[in-house]
Amino acid sequence: MQIWGGHPLQGHVKISGAKNSALVLMAGALLCSEDCRIRNVPMLADVERMSQVLLALGVGVKRDGEVLDINAKDFATSKAPYELVTQLRASFFAIGSILARLGVAQMPLPGGCAIGARPVDLHVRGLQAMGAEVQIEHGICNAYVPGSNRRLKGAKIYLDSPSVGATETLMMAATLADGETLIENAAREPEVVDLANFCKSMGAKIQGAGTSTITIVGVEKLHSTDYTVIPDRIEAGTFLTAGAITRSDLLLSPVVPEHLLPVIAKLREMGVPIIEEGTNSLRIKPADALKAADIETLPHPGFPTDMQAPFMSLMAVADGDSLINETVFENRLRHASELNRLGADIRVKGNIAFIRGVPVLSGAPVIGSDLRAAAALVVAGLAASGLTTIKGLQFLDRGYDRLDLKLLSVGAKIKRVSEAETEADETAPYLAPK
Ligand code: EPZ
């Protein structure tokens, strides 16, 4: 991707459905033996990959634009494909719904990624508390429920840390279990609430989603549904940082402002005007100046770790010294060195980044190392003078729906080019894509 930066943006950006909700709703649809229609599904590589996992299980999946129809009446197998699950961590969460439906599941371990080791011990321990026997062999998590009806049993589960994925896996498993399950120290993210609402729309009995204590009373069977995914708060947050760093006037919708409270609060602290317009729109206005600030990433409703990287780009050009403490993932500051290529002044020590604001960034060739790191480079490239060339788009496409086209529609000088074209003359002027 090539960006000629230093230009304000203007206009309206349509925010897509939430990646981290759509993926787990697709896993949730496996709980139901009738038709499930999911709307507002973003166009993402990860959604495609999740569809392939479901198809490999023998489940019916049909897509029509932003609408997905899933029918899990029949499974061909309880074993998920190794090569797909190891590339898509969210597909591991389906172990909860497969085990709840079939009483057996073989799920490859998702393994670590660029941002951390990402173990699944909390998922496994919760399933064992519900009566599952779990053995990990040859990279596969083999789970089965002993006994004649092979049905999980309600249990009291305390999570050592409020893991989003473990909360979602166990909530799905408990939906069809025999009896009541209590998940304590549960994750409170909006995507967890969206999954609970999706399951309730199929007849599940769930209370307390969005709080630290979730109660699920298992039911025998779920029924069909037609459900719309919530807007993507991280995509919206990324556009807010793009608007702030370019001193732009942007209107974003649909959004749920409540989902973005920590992000909006931090932007306002940095001097950026954010206005709620109506119930589902946010407007960002040009800031006179960007003030430095500190961030500590935390589980929701704390500051989201997925917004940390785009904010580092913003802090790189703020007045003064900022500090980021990344407490959720152990290896999620790798974008700092690429931002330094663009002229930022960032030092990293362990999970802390010290950011000394500089007046301007200057364009350069950079590489995204993971999804949000790549987004941070796009945000920085929009502000940097001259040409920024970004590689590592395979990460970006996993989580951002047509990001370059949306930016183009509000006046960014941006285009997607082939690898060969990135070698082109860096002083070449911007020619808008045809
Ligand atoms: C979800 O990942 C999101 N992914 C992540 O978004 C997001 O960063 C993360 O939640 C935190 O908000 C999806 O929803 C698909 P966790 P998840 O379990 O569920 C440790 C993005 O950019 N942990 O809450 O994997 C873990 O290692 C992605 O869109 C255990 O130790 O996150 C991490 O340090 C990246 N044992 C911490 O908890 C476990 O069994 C939080 O992880 C599970 C997690």
For the stretch 244-295, pLDDT in tens is 999 999 999 999 999 999 999 999 999 999 999 999 999 999 999 999 999 9
Our answer on whether the CB atom of 165 is closer than 6 Å to any ligand 1 atom is yes
pLDDT at 429: 67
What is the distance between the alpha carbons of residues 280 and 121, in angstroms, rounded to a whole number? 38
The CATH number given to whatever domain includes residue 157 is: 3.65.10.10
Same domain, 279 and 196: no
Is the pLDDT at 365 greater than 60? The verdict is yes
Residue nearest atom 37 of ligand 1, based on CA coordinates: 328
What are the pLDDT digits (tens) for 186-237? 999 999 999 999 999 999 999 999 999 999 999 999 999 999 999 999 999 9
User: In which domain, by residue range, is 68 found?
Assistant: 19-228
C-alpha 115 to ligand 1 mean position (Å):
10
328 is in an annotated binding site: yes
351 is in an annotated binding site: no
Please indicate, yes or no, whether residues 399 and 303 belong to a single structural domain of this protein. Answer: yes
Choose which residue among 19, 20, 396 to substitute to test ligand 1 binding: the one with the highest number of ligand atoms within 8 A of its C-beta: 20
292 and 359 co-located in one domain: yes
Residues 208 and 59 in one domain: yes
250 & 173 share domain: no
φ/ψ of residue 76, rounded to 5: -85, -25
Q: Given the CA of residue 370, which atom of ligand 1 is nearest to it?
A: 22
Q: What percent of the chain has pLDDT over 90?
A: 93
Q: What is the pTM (predicted TM-score) of this model?
A: 0.97
49 within domain boundaries? yes
- Within 8 A by CB and 6+ apart from 415, the residues are 1, 2, 404, 408, 430, 432, 433
Give pLDDT, residue 427: 60
Q: Determine whether the annotation assigns residue 247 to a binding site.
A: no
For residues 324 and 416, membership in a common domain is answered with: yes
Residues 201 and 248 in one domain: no
Q: Is residue 273 part of a domain?
A: yes
Region 23-31 average pLDDT: 98
Our count of domains for the chain comes to: 2
In a domain, 432, yes or no: no
Q: What is the spatial distance between Cα 176 and Cα 156, in angstroms, rounded to a whole number?
A: 15
pLDDT in tens, 300-316: 999 999 999 999 999 99
- Strands of the 156-158 sheet, one edge to the other: 156-158, 180-184, 213-217, 205-207
Count the helices and strands in the chain (H runs, E runs).
Answer: 14, 23
Task: Identify whether the C-beta of residue 34 lies closer than 8 Å to the C-beta of residue 224.
Answer: yes
What does the pLDDT read at residue 353? 98
**Residue 426 pLDDT greater than 90, yes or no:** no
Q: Answer yes or no: do 99 and 245 share one domain.
A: no
